[in-house]
Homo-oligomer: A and B are copies of this chain.
Amino acid sequence: MKNIQVSSVFISFYIIVFVTLLFSRAEAQAPQSFIPAPTNIDQSSCPCVLPDNSVFFRVHAPYASHLQIDLAKKYDMEKDEEGYWTVQTEPVDPGFHYYFLIIDGVPVADPASRTFYGTGRMISGIEIPSGSERFFDIKENPHGTVRTHHYYSKVTESWRNLVVYTPPDYENNAEKEFPVVYLQHGGGEDETGWTNQGRVRHILDNLIAEGKAKPMIVVMADGHLPGLPGGYSTSAMENIKKEMTEVIVPFVDAKYRTLQNPRNRAISGLSMGGGQSFYIGLGNLDTFGSVGVFSSGIFGGIRSVPGRTFDAENEIPGLLTKASDFNQKLDVFYLSCGHSDMRIEHTIHAVDTMREHGLDVEFNSFDGDHDWNVWRESFRDFASRLFK
């Protein structure tokens, strides 16, 4: 059995090299002007991006009867006589997108692309280049470091992962202490999302180099607690609040040179993680002095109850009636949403209501939907307002 395993893995490797060669030969049939997506596995020439930002896919599957690409919408692929299936999508917005390859009805990760943890599983991602250097691209600035830790959680009674970004000068000055922003992913994602999909390390390296953000530590935790209720329910919010305030913050403050006061501690997140930040942050203003809520569904159909109206005062007692108390304790209370996100109306309504009651709310919106392009923009915007 063992020898078969060896040969299996190594033969697979050589088959891949061989198929890659085949691909390069077959490339003559592919669109003339294209670039391989940056998210491709090293040897893959497909998927490739055409000048109009449509994407060309090719998959070898001579024995399958129906192949599709699900990238924003489903595209049927067409098979040639050599068993290669191809399709060219409509133009796709620059930036990061999840996608599936669907083989005879089964959605899987495309072997040609990097995988990312999203929608509760490993899923393909594609980065559509914008044609010019962006704020989330790696540049020749001083670079921070991304570290991974395991910590034991008394909430889940298990070992859990934590991802931490430290700014470029964290290592250079052994005495200096830094502010910290806690940054939560969305539903179905995990603690790797903000690094892999969100490119938070490049965003901060660039902001810091340009003098647009204070050097800060970013802590990215897993917002799903296995074995415990998830989503937006009250018990889910109580559990993640306990995990954050009683386990993660003390772990980080013990492990890193942090400034340990609310003026130097922020919490933020996207979608479900935005909801977590709203409840954990506004409910613990002696711990967190700034709160960022990106693209969260809590402002309409809160806690997964469709049609239920967001009642800020009910969710966080005093938020409307004692707004000045909150203003005094909050440095930055920030909301954002994508222009095309179905959450935008509810979010703007919540911002208006809170402002009418005298609460200081900062708000911004960006081109895009419920997607990582809006979240990269949101974090850039939020981070540049923090710790000033």
- Which residues of A pack against B, CB within 8 Å? 1-6, 8-10, 12-13, 16-17, 41-43, 59-66, 70, 72-73, 90, 93, 97-98, 100-101, 103-109, 111-115, 118-122, 138, 140, 143, 145-150, 152, 159, 171, 174, 187-188, 224, 226, 255, 338, 340-342, 368-371
Q: A2-B93, A108-B111 are in contact. List 14 more A-B contacts (CB 8 A).
A: A2-B72, A4-B72, A9-B370, A12-B107, A16-B121, A42-B120, A59-B106, A62-B105, A63-B66, A64-B103, A65-B65, A109-B122, A111-B121, A146-B148
Select one of B42, B61, B171 contacting A105, CB under 8 A.
Answer: B61
Residues on the B chain within 8 Å of A120, using CB: 13, 16-17, 41-43
Q: Which residue of B lies closest to A100 (CB)?
A: B12
Select one of B5, B41, B63 contacting A371, CB under 8 A.
Answer: B5
Number of copies: 2
Can you name 18 A-B pairs with beta carbons within 8 Å?
A: A1-B72, A2-B369, A2-B371, A5-B97, A6-B369, A10-B119, A13-B188, A16-B121, A16-B188, A41-B121, A60-B106, A61-B106, A63-B105, A65-B65, A109-B115, A115-B115, A143-B150, A145-B149
Residues on the B chain within 8 Å of A118, using CB: 9
Residues on the B chain within 8 Å of A41, using CB: 120-122
Minimum distance in angstroms from A241 CB to a CB of chain B? 20
Q: Are A8 and B63 in contact (CB under 8 A)?
A: no
Residues on the B chain within 8 Å of A10, using CB: 119, 187, 370
Minimum distance in angstroms from A96 CB to a CB of chain B? 12
Q: Are B12 and A119 in contact (CB under 8 A)?
A: yes
Q: Which residue of B lies closest to A340 (CB)?
A: B2
Q: Are B6 and A341 in contact (CB under 8 A)?
A: yes
Q: How far is the CA of A299 from the CA of B167 in the complex (A)?
A: 45
Residues on the B chain within 8 Å of A72, using CB: 1-2, 4-5, 8
Minimum distance in angstroms from A146 CB to a CB of chain B? 5
Supposing A4-B73, A16-B121, A120-B16 touch, asked if A111 and B104 sit within 8 A by C-beta, the answer is: no
Q: Are A6 and B370 in contact (CB under 8 A)?
A: yes
Residues on the B chain within 8 Å of A119, using CB: 9-10, 12-13, 16
Q: Are B13 and A369 in contact (CB under 8 A)?
A: no
Q: Are B146 and A5 in contact (CB under 8 A)?
A: no
Residues on the B chain within 8 Å of A140, using CB: 152
Minimum distance in angstroms from A162 CB to a CB of chain B? 10
Q: Which residue of B lies closest to A226 (CB)?
A: B42
Q: How far is the CA of A136 from the CA of B207 in the complex (A)?
A: 39
Residues on the B chain within 8 Å of A255, using CB: 171
Interface centre among A42, A62, A140, A147 (most CB of B within 10 A): A42
Q: Are A224 and B62 in contact (CB under 8 A)?
A: no
Q: How far is the CA of A136 from the CA of B61 in the complex (A)?
A: 38
Minimum distance in angstroms from A299 CB to a CB of chain B? 16
Residues on the B chain within 8 Å of A62, using CB: 105
Residues on the B chain within 8 Å of A73, using CB: 1, 4-5, 8
Interface centre among A70, A113, A368 (most CB of B within 10 A): A70
Q: Which residue of B lies closest to A230 (CB)?
A: B17
Q: Are B107 and A108 in contact (CB under 8 A)?
A: no
Q: Are A340 and B105 in contact (CB under 8 A)?
A: no
Q: How far is the CA of A110 from the CA of B114 in the complex (A)?
A: 14
Q: How far is the CA of A64 from the CA of B150 in the complex (A)?
A: 40
Q: Which 4 A-B pairs have the closest CB atoms?
A: A2-B369, A63-B105, A5-B72, A64-B104
